[in-house]
Structure 1
Amino acid sequence: MRRTALIHSWLRGFALCLLALPILALAVPAQAELSPAALDRAKLATVGVLEDTQDQRTPDKPGKILVRGTGFHLRDGYIVTARHAAEKHDVTTGTIIEKQIRILTTDLHELTADLVGDSAFMDVVVYRVIEAQRSKLLASAFFAGGDVQPGQTVFTVGYPMGWGPTMSFGHLGNTNTFLQTVDTRLIQADVAACSGNSGGGLFNEKGDVVGIMHAIIQTERDDSTAHCSRMAFAIPALLAERIVKAAIEGKPMTFSKMGIHMMAVKDGTKWRMAVKEVNEPSKSAGIQKHDIIIAVDDTEINDAAHLKNYLIERTTPGQQVRVKVRRIDADLTFTVTLGGG
């Protein structure tokens, strides 16, 4: 599990999920903005990711289910969740991605799903329920088209602390946030979430997926490995959909590269990013060491994370982009044909 000082990816809820647990609302829903059909579809599409020790039930704990994470059914049996919610930790082999997981539907069917593909780079993994059991999946989720906006109404369905399914409602905050836990921007949401929500869908008012729940920032320190917060972060659907599509199609996920390394410098009163090292393809395009990166295709670049995010989400290898730089006192624009890798 990835960790920083106060950043905790949701991994394993220690509480048990009871067989007859009712729906629990963690925040007051904005029902005027959310249709019952959207809420119902999101709930039915949500699944729990069971502990890999689920079959090792003990006689003193009958009728209880161990849930470690959340996911959602996309279509045709494909289950999407956070990669770290499906990882297995072993003292000899280290951390590995499980080839097969068991999931729990909201009407308590336990199904088996096989690994299709994953991206450790982006903390996304795709499984597929075995064919004989796919008819047990009650609903499908859809990735929302376009990007999200701050203030947008959202909700999530999941298994915080192993309990659920629960619903939590709120709004989006900063949609361009960067943490040390993943190599992409994240969407901040003020929805209540805990250990175990990881991998669940972050839904808009139509019930479409705008993000995959990834991490929370812990607001209180204690010695427990289970945490809750209203400062939650999700992988944006704009990127997650590309990863899922590549996994389903069996294609390697490649990202665009400019071939530059950057460092922070002062440009007047503003901090900007300057080229520390330049390699191909930027070198052939004319970009030089110490050039200050101003913008790519008219999108202002504030730091290295912004540049990486723009390349990951908005471009493909082989695409040409216009890069505006400041060299001493002159603003210059170069056309770079992006590499891949």
Structure 2
Amino acid sequence: MAPLPSSLWCAFFAGTTLCTTSIPAYATTAHDALLQAKFATVGVLEETQDQRTPDKPGKLLVRGTGFHLRDGYVVTARHAAEKHDAATGTVIPKQIRILTTDLHELPADLVGDSAFMDVVVYRVVEPHRAKLRAGASFASGDPQPGQEVFTVGYPMGWGPTMAFGHLGNTDTFLQTVDTRLIQADVAACSGNSGGGLFNDKGEIVGIMHAIIQTERDDSTAHCSRMAFAIPAILAERIVNAAVAGKPLTFSKMGIHMMPVRDGTKWRMAVRDVSEPAKSAGIQKHDIIIAVDDTEIDDAKHLKNYLIERTTPGQKVAVKVRRVDADLTFTVTLGGG
């Protein structure tokens, strides 16, 4: 990932491995939740490996982390699976190899991905799916600041390791993806990317995406206690669309906004309006107050609400301020 202005962000990559133990059938205690998360976690292996021959032992190089969801479907960060080729540029390989916690190396075929959200889904080939000893599930509802979380992964290629911490800002933005991210105060390094960020029940609240690089040197391996994750509510939509073999479409309202001052508060006003908002009655210069009773603070907040909470064709109530009157319009969302 290229450096960003003002501070350098780095996405997770890496190299190496270890570990094994046992897991209960169901996570009924905190200890069980940790074991289930551990066994649901997989390493994403480097594409180029030493061939195993009698006179040349193999070498396992783990570049990233992922997790088994169910039925052989493995989720990871798109950038943790990307292949960089001098001729073709950056591509997503049709097949990757994953490493389970108990050291099974398994091939997995591409199912679908979203460069927009940095998520990719693979599926372990059918003869090997029984070797996946545990699965994870996405948490329902919104994670809350201060909530206890942990992550399992392969920092610097070693692992699986566990790191524990708390959520910080659950509505923050970087220049690396076009969606909000969840900030977590957990130790994470190059190699954690694509791993699950779990709550205390062992449910996925986010997919590890990036860290802040606090030091500047020539090394490509870095660690930090400030990590960022794709929210589960959005990741689940991407995964479900990929598994169903359908393109992921997002809602469009048809407005472009600009900041204006409304008393002492800065709000967003309509700069330009098109369909479907125009047919619903929304006009240029209307100040956007809320959508379906969710207050809208800025353009990113509106975009985030639309891609996470709505689907094309859905009707939403948009509250606006026009001069001194508060009006509500029903907009049937478009898609694309």
Same fold (TM over 0.5): yes
Q: How many angstroms does 1:237 deviate by?
A: 0.8
Matched, 1:286 2:287: no
Root mean square deviation of aligned Cα = 2.1
C-alpha separation between the residues in 1 aligned to 2:19 and 2:75? 23
Query: Where does structure 1 lack aligned partners over 5 or more consecutive residues?
Result: 24-33
Cα distance in 1 for residues equivalent to 2:326 and 2:49: 61
**2:11 is matched by which residue type in structure 1?**
W
Q: How many residues in Structure 1 have an aligned counterpart in Structure 2? A: 329
Match of residue 16 from structure 2? 17
Instruction: Determine the structure 2 residue equivalent to 1:29.
Output: none
TM-superposed CA distance for 1:8, in Å, is: 2.8
Aligned partners of 2:246, 2:20: CA distance in 1, in Å?
40
1: CA distance between counterparts of 2:221 and 2:267? 38
Normalising by the residue count of structure 2, what TM-score does the alignment of the two structures yield? 0.92
- Partners in 2 of 1:274 and 1:227 — Cα distance? 41
Mapped to 2, the partners of 1:239 and 1:176 lie a distance apart of: 13
Establish whether residue 179 from structure 1 lines up as the match of residue 196 from structure 2.
Answer: no
**Is the aligned partner of 1:296 residue 2:291?**
yes
Matched with 2:131 is 136
Q: Does the 8 Å contact 1:172/1:190 carry over to 2?
A: yes
- Aligned partner of 1:193 in structure 2 is 188
Q: Partner amino acid for 1:320?
A: K
Conserved in 1, the CA contact under 8 Å of 2:99 and 2:106? Answer: yes
Contact 1:157 1:201 in 2 (8 A): yes
Q: Residue 67 of structure 1 aligns with which residue? A: 62
Distance 2:46 2:53 in 1: 14
**Counterpart code for 1:10:** A
Task: Report deviation, 1:35.
Answer: 1.4
Is residue 230 of structure 2 the alignment partner of residue 235 of structure 1?
yes
Q: Distance in 2 between matches of 1:61 and 1:159?
A: 25
Give the corresponding residue for 2:220.
Answer: 225
CA contact (8 A) 1:8 1:217 kept: yes
Q: CA deviation at 1:7?
A: 4.8
Deviates more, 1:162-171 or 1:54-63: 54-63
Q: Which residue of structure 1 lines up, in the alignment, with residue 35 of structure 2?
A: 40
Unmatched 5+ stretches in structure 2? 22-28
Corresponding residue to 2:152 among 157, 163, 183: 157
Structure 1 residues 10-56: Cα deviation after superposition (integer angstroms, max 9, x where no partner): 2422xx414x4689xxxxxxxxxx71111100000100001111246
Q: Contact conserved, 1:7 with 1:216, CA < 8 A, in 2?
A: no
CA distance in 2, matches of 1:58, 1:219: 42
Shift of 1:268: 2.4
- In 2, the alpha carbon distance for the partners of 1:267 and 1:96 equals 46
- Specify the SS of the correspondent of 1:180: coil
- Whole-angstrom CA distance in 2 between matches of 1:204 and 1:324: 35
Mapped to 1, the partners of 2:257 and 2:325 lie a distance apart of: 19
Counterpart among 77, 80, 95 of residue 90 in structure 2: 95
Partner of 1:206: 201
Asked if structure 2 preserves the Cα contact closer than 8 Å seen for 1:9 and 1:214, the reply is no
Tell me the TM-score normalised to structure 1 length. 0.91
Q: Conserved in 2, the CA contact under 8 Å of 1:3 and 1:181?
A: no
Identity of counterpart residues, as a percentage? 80
Find the aligned partners of 1:12 and 1:115 in 2 and give their Cα distance: 19
1:66-85 matches, cutoff 5 A: 66-85=61-80
Give deviations 1:123-172, integer Å, cap 9, x for gaps. Answer: 11100001111111111111112221111110000011111111000011
How many Å separate the matches in 2 of 1:254 and 1:152? Answer: 31
SS in 2 for 1:17: coil
Per mean C-alpha deviation after superposition, the further-off stretch among 267-276 and 117-126 is 267-276
Say if 2:272 and 2:284, in contact at 8 Å, map to a contact too.
yes
Contact 1:2–1:181 (8 Å) recurs in 2: no
1:312 aligns with 2:312: no
The amino acid that maps onto 2:327 is: L
User: Residue in 2 aligned with 1:4?
Assistant: 4
Decide whether the 8 Å contact of 1:157 with 1:168 is kept in 2.
Answer: yes
How big is the shift at 1:225?
A: 1.9
Distance 1:273 1:2, change over 3 A: farther
Distance change (3 Å), C-alpha of 1:275 and 1:58: farther
Pick aligned residue for 1:170 from 144, 165, 174 = 165
How much does 1:326 deviate? 1.8
The correspondence for 1:245, drawn from 240, 248, 254, is 240
Q: Secondary structure at the match of 1:121?
A: coil
Deviates more, 1:53-62 or 1:181-190: 53-62
User: Whole-Å Cα distance in 2 between the matches of residues 102 and 49 of structure 1?
Assistant: 6
Aligned to 1:27: none
> What's the CA shift for 1:92?
1.8
144-153 vs 122-131, greater mean Cα deviation: 144-153
Q: How far apart, CA to CA, are the structure 2 residues paired with 1:40 and 1:83?
A: 25
